[in-house]
Structure 1
Amino acid sequence: MLRSIKACSPSVRMLLWATFTLTLARAITLPYLVVYLADNFALSISDIGLVVGSALFVGSLLSLYGGYLIDKLRSYSVISSSTLIFAAAFVGAVASRSLLLFFVFLVLINLTLAVVDIAAKSGFCALLPENARSEVFSIKYTLSNVAYAVGPFMGAGLFKLDTHWPFIVSAGLGLAMFLAYWRWGDRSPQTGLAGMQKQAFVAVGRLLLKDYRLVCFTLGGVLSAVVFGQFTAFLSQYLVVTTTPEHTYRVISYVVATNAVTVIALQYLIGRRISSRRLFPWLLAGMAMFLVGLLGFSLAQTLLVWCLAMLVFTLGEIIVIPAEYMFIDAIAPEHLRGMYYGAQNLSNLGAALGPVICGFALAALAPQVMFYLLIICVVAATLFYYLGASGLGRRL
C-alpha cells in the first residue's frame, strides 16, 4: 500500500493525508467525549448520547451544503478553510463552559471533517482515471481505520495527563494540516466550476431528488449504516443487557481488535479489486456478509464465535464502503460530484440512528430481536441498492 501511495500524484497524496490527519484528530477525542461531558457538564448517559448523536446528525445534514460549496468554489479554498475551522472548533470546545457552545463546536468538528472527506472523494475523481479510483478509495478507507485504531490509544495517554489534552492535540493536528494544505495543496481551478455558478443550492437539491438512482442508493446507505455505522454501540448495548459489564468490556475489546486488524490487513487487498463494471454483485456479497455476521452475533456464546462473526461482518464493511464510493462515481455528473458525495454522506444519519433504534428494541423486546431488526435493515438496504443499480443497466 505504501508503494501505491508513493506512486500517487502529490495532489492525491495531500488529499489522503488531509483525511487521515483529521480522522486521527477526531479519533483521539471521540472515545473520551462521554467522560468529558459527564465531568464538565454533569450530564447523564442518556443526555450524553443525545448530545453526541445529535451533533453527528446535524453535521451530516449540513454536509450536503458543504458538497454544494465544493462544486461551486475551488476545492483548495474549501479544504483550507475547513481544516482551519476544524482546528478552531477543538479549541472552542475545550474552552466552552456552556453546553450549547460545546454542542455547536462539536457540530463544526463533524461538519468540517465531512466536508474535507467529500472534497477528497470529489478530488480523486477529478485527478484519477476511472480504473485507478477504487484503489485510492481503498487506501483512503484503510488509512481512516488506521487512524481509528491508533487515535484512542493516543487519546488514552493524553487523557491521563489532563482531560483537556486530547482536544488540544487534535486542534494542533488540524492546524498543522491547514498549514500543510495552505502551502502544498492543489490550487488548480475546479473542473465544472462554471456550470455551478448559475445554480442555487435549492435548485441543485431538486435536481438530485429527481435522480432516483441517487435517492435509492442514499436510502440504502442510510439503512446499511444503521448496521455497521456504530456497531460497537449496539453490541455494547446488547451485551450490557444480556451479560455483565466485565464480560461486555472483554468481548468488545476483542471484537474491536478483530475489526481493526481485519480492515487494516484486507481492505486494500479486497477494495482495489472492486470495479465499476460489477458493482452490484460486490454489494450483494457485502450485504450477505453482514447477514452472516449478524446471525453469528445473535447466536454467539463464546469469545471465539464473537470474533469469527466480527471477522465476517467486517468483510461486509470492507466491500460495501468502497462499492458505495464507486457507485456515486459512476452516476455523478462532473460538475455535481460534491453534491452527490454530500448526499452519500447522509448515510451518517443511519449511523446516528442505529444505537437509538437498538436501544428501543432492547428495552421493549427480547434481546435477540435487535439483531433480527438489523437483518431487516440489511435486506431493505439491498433492495434499495438493487433499484439504484438497475438504473445503470448492464454495467452493474
Structure 2
Amino acid sequence: MLAALKGYPSAVRLLLFTTFTLTMARAITLPYLVVYLATHMGLSVGRVGLLVGGAMFVASALSLYGGHLVDRLRNHTLIVACSAVFGLSFLGIVASTWALPFFCCLVVAYLAQTVVDIAAKAGFCALLPEARRAEAFAIKYTFNNIAWAAGPMLGVLLIELDDHLPFLFSAAIGLGLAVFYQRCGERGLASPAQDKSTAGFAQVGLSLLRDTRLVCFTLGGMLSAVVFGQFTAYLSQYLVVTLQDPVQVARLAGYLVTSNALTVIALQYVIGRRISRQYLLPWLMTGMALFIAGLLGFSMASSVPAWCLAMVVFTLGEIIVIPAEFMFIDLIAPQPLRGVYYGAQNLSNLGAGLGPALVGAALGSMAPAGVLYLLIGSVILAAVFYRLGTRRSH
C-alpha cells in the first residue's frame, strides 16, 4: 500500500489525507453524541436516537444535491468551503442549547463531509487511469476504517478533560483542513461538467431516474446497506434479547467491532485492489454469499470465537461489496455527471438507517433467529437488483 501511495500524484495523496482527516474528526465525536445530548439537553434515549438518526437520514437524502455541486463547482473551492462549513457546524453544535439548532448543525456537518467524500471520488477519476481507481478507493476505505478505530479512543481522552472538547477539537480539524487545502490543494482540478450551461438539478434528477442501471444498483445498495450499514446497532439489539445480560452484551459487541475493524484494516487493500470491471458481478455475488454465511453464523453462534469467526466472514462481504459498488458507478457514470452519480450511490446510506429500525420492530413480533433470516432475505433481494443493474450495463 505504501508503494502504491508513493506512485500516486500528490493531488491524489492529498485527497486521501483530506477524507481521512474529516472522517477522524467525525469519529471523535459520534460515539458521545447520545451522552452529550442526554446530559446537556435532557433528552430521552429515544429522542436522541431520532435526532441523530434523523440527521444522518436527511444528510444522506441531500447528498444527491451535493453530488450535483461537485459536477458544477471547482473541486478545490468545494473542498475548502465544505471543510470550513464542517468546522463551523461543530462550533454551532457546542453553542446550541436546544435540539433544533443542534439537529441543523449536525445535518450540515454530515452533509459537508459527504460532499468532500464525493469530490474525492470524482478527483480520483479525474487524476487516475481506470486501472488504478479501485486500488485508490481500497486505500481510502482502509484509511477511513483506521480513523473510525482511532477516533473514538482520542475522543475518550478529550472527553475526560471536558465534554465539549471533542466537538471543539473536530471544529479545529475542519477549519485547519480548510486553510491547509486552500494553500496546498490542486487548483487545476475542474468540475467534470465542461459546459456550465448544463441542465439544472431537477432535470439531472429526472435523467437519473431514467437510468435503470443506476436505479437498480441504488436499490441494491440500499438493501445491502440494511445489513452492513449499521450492523453494530442491530446486533446489539439482537444480543440484548438473546443474552439478556448487559455486561455480556457490551463485551461481545466490543469483540465484534474489533474483529470487523481488524479484518477491514488487514484485508481491504489486499482484496479491494483486485476487484476489476470485467468481473464485477461475480465479485458482488461473492460478497452477497459472504453476508449470508456471516448472518447464518450469527444465528448459530454460541461462543465468543464463533461470533468473531462469523463476523470475519461477514466483514469479507463488506470488503468486497463497497469497492465493487464504486467500480460499477465509475463504469456507468457519464463524465459530466460523476458527482451526482456518486451522490446517488450515497443514497444507500438510507438503507443503513433502516437496519436497526427493521430489527427493532421484528424482534417484537418474531423469534430472534427469524430476524437474521429476514436480513438474509434483504441480501438476496439486493443481489437480484445488482444482477439487474449489471446486466443492463453490458
TM range (shorter): over 0.9
In structure 2, the partner of 1:83 is 83
In structure 2, the partner of 1:168 is 168
- Secondary structure of 2:348 counterpart: helix
1:318 and 2:328 equivalent? no
1:338 and 2:339 equivalent? yes
Q: Distance in 2 between matches of 1:63 and 1:377?
A: 24
Q: Report deviation, 1:6.
A: 2.1
1:360 and 2:391 equivalent? no
In structure 2, the partner of 1:370 is 371
CA deviations 1:293-317 (Å, max 9, x no partner) are 0011111110011000000000000
In structure 1, the partner of 2:256 is 255
Q: Report deviation, 1:391.
A: 1.1
- Secondary structure of 1:113 counterpart: helix
Q: Report deviation, 1:189.
A: 4.7
Answer whether contact 2:292 2:379 (CA < 8 A) is retained.
Answer: yes
Answer whether contact 1:159 1:166 (CA < 8 A) is retained.
Answer: yes
1:131 and 2:131 equivalent? yes
- Secondary structure of 1:188 counterpart: coil
| Bigger shift: residues 175-184 or 316-325 | 175-184
Aligned residue type for 2:290: M
Answer whether contact 2:123 2:189 (CA < 8 A) is retained.
Answer: no
1:224 and 2:224 equivalent? yes
Aligned residue type for 1:63: S
Q: Report deviation, 1:39.
A: 0.5
CA deviations 1:260-315 (Å, max 9, x no partner) are 11000000000000011110100000110000000111111100110000000000
| Bigger shift: residues 7-16 or 319-328 | 7-16
Coordinate RMSD, CA, aligned: 0.9
Answer whether contact 1:71 1:339 (CA < 8 A) is retained.
Answer: yes
| Bigger shift: residues 307-316 or 2-11 | 2-11
Q: Report deviation, 1:166.
A: 0.7
Change (3 A) 1:156 1:192: closer
Answer whether contact 1:286 1:320 (CA < 8 A) is retained.
Answer: yes
Q: Distance in 2 between matches of 1:350 and 1:180?
A: 34
**TM-score for the superposition, normalised by structure 2:** 0.98
Answer whether contact 2:193 2:337 (CA < 8 A) is retained.
Answer: no
Answer whether contact 1:196 1:335 (CA < 8 A) is retained.
Answer: no
Aligned residue type for 2:239: L
Q: Report deviation, 1:88.
A: 0.3
In structure 1, the partner of 2:9 is 9
1:37-116 alignment to 2 at 5 Å?
A: 37-116=37-116
Q: Report deviation, 1:196.
A: 4.7
Q: Distance in 2 between matches of 1:53 and 1:18?
A: 25
1:118-267 alignment to 2 at 5 Å?
A: 118-190=118-190, 192-243=192-243, 244-267=245-268
CA deviations 1:342-385 (Å, max 9, x no partner) are 00000110111111111111122211111111101100000000
Q: Distance in 2 between matches of 1:37 and 1:49?
A: 10
- Secondary structure of 2:35 counterpart: helix
Q: Distance in 1 between matches of 2:159 and 2:353?
A: 25
Answer whether contact 1:222 1:349 (CA < 8 A) is retained.
Answer: yes
Q: Percent identity?
A: 58
Matched length: 393
Q: Distance in 1 between matches of 2:119 and 2:197?
A: 18
CA deviations 1:91-144 (Å, max 9, x no partner) are 100110021000001101110111011111111011110000010000000000
Answer whether contact 1:221 1:381 (CA < 8 A) is retained.
Answer: yes
Runs (4+) of structure 1 exceeding 4 A deviation are none
Q: Report deviation, 1:195.
A: 3.0
**TM-score for the superposition, normalised by structure 1:** 0.98
The answer for unaligned runs of 5 or more in structure 1 is none
Aligned residue type for 2:304: L
In structure 1, the partner of 2:303 is 302
Q: Distance in 1 between matches of 2:310 and 2:267?
A: 16
1:383 and 2:384 equivalent? yes
Answer whether contact 1:72 1:197 (CA < 8 A) is retained.
Answer: no
In structure 1, the partner of 2:20 is 20
